[in-house]
Amino acid sequence: MLNAFKHHWPNYLAEAGGLMAFMLGAGGFTTLFEYPGSLVRQAIPSDLPRHALLGLVMGLVTAGIVYSPWGMRSGAHINPAVTLSFWRLGKISGPDAVFYALFQFLGAIIAPVLLLWAIGEPFAHEKVKFATTQPGPQGQLIAFAAEFAMSFLLMLALLLAINSERFEKLAGAAAASLIALYIAIESPLSGMSLNPARSFGSAVTAGQWSGMWLYFAAPILSMLLAAELFRHLLEAGWIAAKAGPGASRGPHLVGDYKPGPTYPVDRAMA
């Protein structure tokens, strides 16, 4: 564990910073679009256009994180469920996965505190609620089903993209596009989380824990299921394992789950 930290601490900081950046964006733009005193909120009174614009902005934020130097260094998981899935596929070691998750939670906890300090009452307003994710009026089971389906589709799409030499570089764009779409149309059902650390971090500042179990269970279970399905599709020959030098090393996740170097990797190896 200590050896992993000694060699890969910059990657762990990149994960904390990546999720912190995402949550600063989510909290800041949610306040801009939802706080009743905001000029944007007053100019766009209808929920659907606001959600669509928020989704577009957060999609761009996600893409910026994934393709940033820090995101390129760590692989830009910024989600413990993603990290756990790639640990299951053998693409990240146990100690690295533990530190990735710990630093993801750390970044998720810090971001809302900074937003509350910087924005104050508008961020805490009942229409913004610290950008927490909470089940909608349809109830927790519907929220669980929505989070499960979204997480499964996102993880499977990522795995298929990064296993393809043709589409690998578009994986970040695919993730950003799905997140934008999810925010636009699904957020009334569950608040659109996909991420245990993201929901936990907001809840710590808000002190609101309604339905927290589903924001852990749904993404983790569904992304692990997507990873298992992808692995079996490879084994059955339904999809071809990516060949070439990018198939088993590099700072980004790769679709080839076969034994080989795991990441984070030193930049000299990339």
CA distances to 128, 197, 233 from 32, rounded to whole Å, are: 9, 23, 43
Q: What is the C-alpha separation between 63 and 65, in angstroms, rounded? A: 5
Residue type, 240: A
- Give CA torsion, residues 112, 115, 116, 121, to 10 deg: -130
For 128, which DSSP code? T
122: exposed, middle or buried (Cβ count in 10 Å: 0-12, 13-18, 19+): middle
Q: What is the C-alpha separation between 193 and 208, in angstroms, rounded? A: 15
- Residue 158 reports pLDDT greater than 90: yes
10-69 pLDDT, tens digit each: 999 999 999 999 999 999 999 999 999 999 999 999 999 999 999 999 999 999 999 999
Task: Identify the residue with better confidence: 259 or 155.
Answer: 155
The pLDDT, as a whole number, for residue 238 is 83
- Residue 111 reports pLDDT greater than 50: yes
35-51 pLDDT, tens digit each: 999 999 999 999 999 99
Domains of the chain: residue spans and CATH: 2-253 (1.20.1080.10)
Of the pLDDT bands very low, low, confident and very high (cuts 50, 70, 90), residue 264 is very low
Q: What is the C-alpha separation between 76 and 92, in angstroms, rounded? A: 13
73-90 pLDDT, tens digit each: 999 999 999 999 999 999
269: exposed, middle or buried (Cβ count in 10 Å: 0-12, 13-18, 19+): exposed
User: Which of 89-93, 202-206, 236-240, 241-245 is the least confident region?
Assistant: 241-245
Enumerate residues 6+ apart whose C-beta is below 8 A from 217. Answer: 144
Three-state DSSP state, 235: helix
Total residues found in the chain within this entry:
270
Angle CA(50)–CA(109)–CA(145) in degrees, nearest 5? Answer: 55
